[in-house]
Amino acid sequence: MSLMATKVWLITGERQVGKSTVLGAVIPRLRDAHVRVTGLLTERTGPHDLAVTELHTGDRYPLTEPFRDLPESPTRHFTMSEAALARSRQALLTSFPTQLFVLDELGPLELNHRRGWAAALDFLARARYDLAVVVVRPELLGAAIAALPGACFCVLQVTLDNRVALPERLVAAWLSRLAEPAASQPGAWS
């Protein structure tokens, strides 16, 4: 399915390939074009450390606590901060309506354990956005697709070969969507 015809873009790629970096390059360019961008963008800040930025407020804070290798942990490489998860879940509530909703990322915490940002799946089903861009790891892609019943989606693979050119392609596709008449876009922003 083409980028133009889809409601949800699933961004996938191997660990550390640059999925968040691609989104980080796209977001300011879309904002420069007056696109309302909301959601959560995650950044790796250390081997076991993550920070999250609330895209609609600009607030940035640690998403993890000092690493504890706990066998029962649903996240192998990170010790998630329950306070930060609660704060970011609250931020999800204020992300809608929007033109572009970004969620970086749906991971094992959400898809396998229904914790973390799992509520975002309900928000995606309500479609109070023109487009959603969701980061998901390749090994969880099937679970993410199954969790988006009825959603019109496409999968975009970030690789070492395309990660430099991909932001330009995504920006061009989104700006083309904006140029379409509002009547042809379900849920178009007004």
| CATH number of the domain within which 98 lies | 3.40.50.300
pLDDT at 62 over 60: yes
Query: Is 83 a domain residue?
Result: yes
Angle, alpha carbons 21-115-77 (nearest 5°): 50
Query: Is 164 a domain residue?
Result: yes
Kindly give the pairing relationship between strand 49-54 and strand 37-46. antiparallel
Give residue 180's pLDDT: 72
Query: Is 186 a domain residue?
Result: no
Q: How many domains does the chain have?
A: 1
Query: Is 30 a domain residue?
Result: yes
Query: Is 185 a domain residue?
Result: no
Query: Is 189 a domain residue?
Result: no
8 Å CB contact between 110 and 92:
no
Provide the whole-model pTM: 0.88
Query: Is 70 a domain residue?
Result: yes
pLDDT at 10 over 80: yes
**CA distance linking residue 125 with residue 66, whole number of Å:** 34
Give residue 151's pLDDT: 67
Query: Is 187 a domain residue?
Result: no
Q: What is the largest CA-CA distance in the chain?
A: 53
Give residue 20's pLDDT: 94
Kindly give the pairing relationship between strand 98-106 and strand 8-12. unpaired
Domain that holds residue 138: 3-180
pLDDT at 3 over 70: no
Nearest to 115 by CA among 153, 66, 81, 155: 81
pLDDT tens sequence across 130-185: 999 999 999 999 999 999 867 688 999 999 999 999 999 999 999 988 777 543 44
Q: Could you please report the per-residue DSSP string of 8-37?
A: EEEEE-STTSSHHHHHHHHHHHHHHTT--E
